[in-house]
Amino acid sequence: MTAATTAKVRGRNLIPSRAFIKERYGDDGWKRFLAAVNPRHRPIWDGPIAEWTWYDRAIDNDGTATLKKVFGGDDPDVIRRLAMRAARHHDRLYLRPILMLGGPHLLFRRAAALYEEYYQGGTLTLVDEGDRWARVVLDDDTAPATFCEESLPGFMEEIIRLSGRWPVVARQETCKRRGGARCALYAAWR
């Protein structure tokens, strides 16, 4: 079995994606998304999603690609906005205690364990940190380039902002899919 066939995503990652599409684009946008998404994945997107159930990562990847294809022309930051919406969802339900106890630093120190709670098939590791910054490395061959370029920086930026830090900068430094030795991301805050 390859990593692509074993990669999984929790339903709790799909739930805020569906909510984002419906909130931002309404019923007509939701219908456009469903018409464009892979027909094999459509029943999952349009049915009940079990929060703690593991789903095939391809559902999430295809949903993100479809979102960008359908809405990205008019909304070039759609993937980053989706990630920020997901951060607000996860902050409210899962990450608030970590942020209250130790702010962004504790969150980044727990990055590996947290990533495993949301995704199977890859890792996210804190590799360096300073007083008001952190650097992580993503090692997940099943994550599309948009995950490293747009989703993860958007999620990091919003979750840091939710901890009361501002201004925030979160960006991709290097990407394996673009010729880099690894996918590295950097975040800084005040």
Query: Is there a contact between 36 and 10 (Cβ–Cβ < 8 Å)?
Result: no
> Could you give the C-alpha distances from 179 to 8, 108, 150, 172, in angstroms and in order?
25, 25, 17, 13
pLDDT higher than threshold 50 for residue 127: yes
Query: Which pLDDT value is given to residue 178?
Result: 85
- Residue where a domain stops, chosen among 44, 78, 112: 78
Q: What's the rounded mean pLDDT across residues 46-75? A: 98
Total domains in the chain come to: 2
Same domain, 120 and 185: yes
Residue 162 lies in a domain: yes
Maximum separation of any 2 CA atoms in the chain, in Å? 47
Query: Which pLDDT value is given to residue 181?
Result: 87
Residue 73 lies in a domain: yes
Characterize the bridge pairing of strands 133-139 and 183-189.
antiparallel
Same domain, 120 and 71: no
Query: Which pLDDT value is given to residue 5?
Result: 58
Query: Which pLDDT value is given to residue 35?
Result: 98
Same domain, 113 and 73: no
Q: How far apart are CA 177 and CA 105, in angstroms?
A: 28
Full residue range of the structural domain in which residue 61 is found: 3-78
Average pLDDT score, the chain: 94
Residue 180 is part of a domain; what is its CATH number?
A: 3.90.1520.10
Same domain, 168 and 133: yes
Query: Is there a contact between 79 and 146 (Cβ–Cβ < 8 Å)?
Result: yes
Q: How far apart are CA 186 and CA 153, in angstroms?
A: 8
Q: What's the rounded mean pLDDT across residues 98-111? A: 93
Instruction: Express each pLDDT in 19-34 by its tens digit.
Output: 999 999 999 999 999 9
- By residue count, the chain amounts to 190
